[in-house]
Amino acid sequence: MQHAAARMLHGVILAKPTAVLVDGAQLIRIAFPSLMRRLDVRGTFETADALIEAQQRADVTVLELHGPMELRAGVTALRSLVAARYTVCVYTSESSPFVHAACLASGAAGVVSKTATIDLAQSAFLEVAGGAIEFPPGLLMRLQLLGERDGLRVLSPREREILAMRATGLTISEIAAVLEEPEATATREWRAITLVLRDFLACASLDMAARLLDLDCADPPDLWPSR
């Protein structure tokens, strides 16, 4: 009998990516494993400290980021998990591009909106578990506009072209078709681009990020990591 955390592909058993959840809501902690069936959920925890104490590791740690009153505590939890070398994907109902950028600048491997369908959210968690960086669409569009103004010189012209296609909603498969290259190549290129973009945010000061990306910093400015 196959293990519950495995799936079959052409007769070969492939393990599901592993995940843990940090969420203060008991109902969500109970429901999450049933909703995310493409993930092997190894545990759910009320706090980041509880996860770190348990030393439970996984391919992706899904962190619920509430807002707006809990934003500081949520970003503090994110930084604690990143410092403990967890790969964190923020799952949030917060829509502020500034908050999204602050999470990525603080080391998150992705930000996923709770308004997304379960299928889309689960696909994003799988991408992060596989080594990708997940940018929310609104922030991606701001970065693309910055690239159009020649303000993203950390990217080559070809990389800015790929960013522009991704920001307009093209899938990796569609980008590969446009570029007439294998999908695996387009995937590698996109992952490399997202790593550069996250590093760009991580190196930017609050003033620089706000100015270049036209971010509204009405949220507490200390959400942005200090340098």
pLDDT of residue 203 exceeding 80, the answer is yes
The pair of three-digit structure tokens given for residue 47, joined into one six-digit string = 């706090």
Where do the DSSP E strands lie in the chain? 6-9, 12-15, 18-22, 40-45, 60-65, 88-92, 110-113
The average pLDDT across 3-32 equals 76
Rounded CA separation 48/219 (Å): 22
pTM of the shown model: 0.89
How does strand 110-113 pair with strand 88-92? parallel
Structure confidence by residue, pLDDT tens digits, 72-102: 899 999 999 999 999 999 999 999 999 999 9
Q: Is 61 helix (H, G, I), strand (E, B) or coil?
A: strand
The reported pLDDT for the residue numbered 2 is: 35
What's the pLDDT band for 66 if we cut at 50, 70, 90?
confident
169 secondary structure, DSSP code: T
214: CB partners within 8 A, 6+ apart: 142
* Beta partners for residue 19, in sequence order: 41, 60
Instruction: Output DSSP code: residue 17.
Output: P
- What residue has token string 């939890």? 77
